[in-house]
Structure 1
Amino acid sequence: MRVTQSMLTGNMLRNLSNSYERLGTYQDQLATNKKITRPSQDPVVAMKGMSYRTNLTEIEQYKRNFSEAYNWLESSDDALDKATSTLQRIRELTVQGSNGTYEENQKSAIATEIGQLKDQLISIANTQVAGKYIFNGNDTNNPPVTVDASGKITASTNQNEVKIELSKGIEIGVNINPTHVFSDGLFKDLDNLINDLNSTSPSKPIGDYLKDIDNRINAVLNERADLGARTNRIELMEDRIDGQVVIVNRILSDNEDADMEKVIMDLTTQESVLRAALGAGSRVIQPSLLDFLR
């Protein structure tokens, strides 16, 4: 086979081009800390990377959902704590009002304070978080308790849950059942209590209202216990999600990140190879016919 100068030159230039390409690849890996900079370099790595990043995006959204869930739960628990304190104060006043030695003006003063506490319960029932009513089921745009011009109180009966997805396919309710706490029955009982305290002929003994108030307090405590149980579950789910974040990031790093020690060694080796190839090429191409005719 006849080997010509042009063949030697062509081979040398092709090999140099390949060497420069490998050198450029190592330089890109060193600069970006990634195995590839475009999918065509390794389609398998690129496809796996897209899948891992999708999973990571979902997990990050779930973590934001956890913040929203905690906001609902903690706000609800705080409001129920205030409701419990208010009902306990109403109970204390009811005990005082049931004392037969109290005069009418004293009972009237107790009724006035209970009326103020009733208004406080309405305010608690209409608690808003980020512009949303948290005690009206999934109807977060309207207040759960309304008072018309005549003073009539109407409580919502919406029991639909507000659910937030905290893991793939797992939704947790973050609100309470408002009919168990802020119901028409609660405000009706308070109105009757106030009327009997102001009346010289009450419909029933004031002490009989204590059982009703105790039932209301127990209902609030039961809802708080339920909130606590859900909070504990959500905390466990958050720990699991946090663990998944670490795992997915590690897998993503193993798939995409370059081994910097190996890249530096390969880059140094390729630089030496390129220099040697340039030196050899200069010696092969340099001789010409004129060099032999001298």
Structure 2
Amino acid sequence: MRITNSMITSNFLSDMQNNLQNMQKIQQQMTSGKIISKPSDNPFIASRSMQLNSQLDANTQYSSNIKDASNWLDTTDTTLGQVGNALQRINELLVSTGNPGYSNDENQSVKDEINQIISGLSQTLNTNFDGKYLFGGTRVTVKPLGTTTDANGNTQLVYNKSDGNPLNSNAASDTVDAKQLNMINKKLSTEISQGVTMDYSVSAADVLKYKSEPSTAAKPTDLRDLLQSIVNHLDGKNADGSTPASGAASPTSLLVTTDLQGIQDATNNVLRLRSEVGAKSNRMKDAADSNDAQTQNLTTILSKTEDIDITQKTMEYATAQTVYTAALQTSARVLQPSLLDYLR
């Protein structure tokens, strides 16, 4: 087969174009730092890279969830500590009422202080964090608790409706009050890793409901009822506010027995809740450490998948440039540069 000058020229131009494309590709990889610039360069690497980036984005969200939940738990623990201090103060006041030298006026002073403590408990349990009420359950935009004043001028803790009015906690299950109370009782949860969710909130009901010791005793198991019982006993009345029957035991005698035990039970309940919050905080820290380690591993794998070896690419570019230069020099000798060369 006769090799013509046009065939040599055509092959030369094709080879030179390939050399230039190779140089361009290597140069683009060096400037971007990535092996591929579009999925068609290497579909497998592109798919793997997208998958790893997706996992990293998810880990970033998990990290944010863990951080927010940890801050929530820290604030909850601090608030529960304040509730515990308030109950401890009531405990001290009840012990003092057992002093035989206490007069009715002194009992009234104790009652007035306890009424103030009840108001303070309402404010404490309505603590707001990041625009949400800590103890509001899933109804985070409405204060869970409020206070009212009974006929005797005593302060009562009550659940709040969404409109701010007292909620009937004994309402039938199909009523609005019952549905809102159910929302207060629910816990908030968050996803801390793929497929793993964890609740991190404490509801107002968790704080107010406590276990009575002994459990068979006919005593209040709701802090609201217990506090109402205490102030009524300090007024010399029965737990429900009624006047005691003639010859019945003095209601004030119950302050250092039934009421005192109830406050201690409620205090123990708060301590139990703080212990649970502490355990959840530790779990969040472990989850954060695990998430950081996984993020680091994914970042390393992603780098190995899509990042170039700059030393290797520098050598490849130098080689491609040498080949290109040699091809130019060779073609200058082989190709006829002009028509005059054919006429000689």
TM-score after normalising by structure 1: 0.93
Residues 217-256 of structure 1 mapped to structure 2, 5 A cutoff: 217-256=267-306
Residue aligning to 1:197 = 234
Shift of 1:142: 2.3
Q: Which has the higher contact order (CA 8 A, sep 6+)?
A: 1
Kept in 1, the 8 Å contact 2:122–2:157? The answer is no
Kept in 1, the 8 Å contact 2:30–2:313? The answer is yes
Kept in 2, the 8 Å contact 1:159–1:178? The answer is yes
**Whole-angstrom CA distance in 2 between matches of 1:117 and 1:95:** 16
SS at match of 1:181: helix
**CA offsets 1:11-35 (integer angstroms, 9 cap, x no match):** 1111111111111111111111111
Q: Are residue 207 (structure 1) and residue 256 (structure 2) matched?
A: yes
Q: Are residue 45 (structure 1) and residue 60 (structure 2) matched?
A: no
Kept in 2, the 8 Å contact 1:128–1:134? The answer is yes
Runs of 5+ unmatched residues, structure 1: none
Shift of 1:177: 4.4
Q: Which runs of 4+ in 1 moved over 4 A?
A: 148-152
Higher alpha-carbon deviation: 127-136 or 191-200: 191-200
**Count of matched residue pairs:** 294
User: Residue type of the partner of 2:323?
Assistant: V
Identity %: 31
Q: 1 or 2, which has the higher helix percentage?
A: 1
**CA offsets 1:162-181 (integer angstroms, 9 cap, x no match):** 11111111110101243231
Instruction: Choose which of 142, 149, 153 in structure 1 pairs with 2:157.
Output: 153
Instruction: State the Cα RMSD in Å.
Output: 2.0
Kept in 1, the 8 Å contact 2:29–2:308? The answer is yes
TM-score after normalising by structure 2: 0.80
Higher alpha-carbon deviation: 28-37 or 133-142: 133-142
Runs of 5+ unmatched residues, structure 2: 160-180, 210-220, 238-243, 245-249
**Whole-angstrom CA distance in 1 between matches of 2:342 and 2:136:** 101
Kept in 2, the 8 Å contact 1:163–1:171? The answer is yes
Residue aligning to 2:332 = 282
Residue aligning to 1:186 = 223
Kept in 2, the 8 Å contact 1:132–1:141? The answer is yes
Residues 132-143 of structure 1 mapped to structure 2, 5 A cutoff: 132-143=132-143
Residues 101-180 of structure 1 mapped to structure 2, 5 A cutoff: 101-148=101-148, 152-155=156-159, 156=181, 158-180=184-206
**Whole-angstrom CA distance in 1 between matches of 2:264 and 2:341:** 114
SS at match of 2:185: coil
User: Residue type of the partner of 1:56?
Assistant: L
SS at match of 1:165: strand
User: Residue type of the partner of 2:185?
Assistant: Q
User: Residue type of the partner of 1:181?
Assistant: V
**Whole-angstrom CA distance in 2 between matches of 1:108 and 1:290:** 125
**Whole-angstrom CA distance in 2 between matches of 1:290 and 1:92:** 118
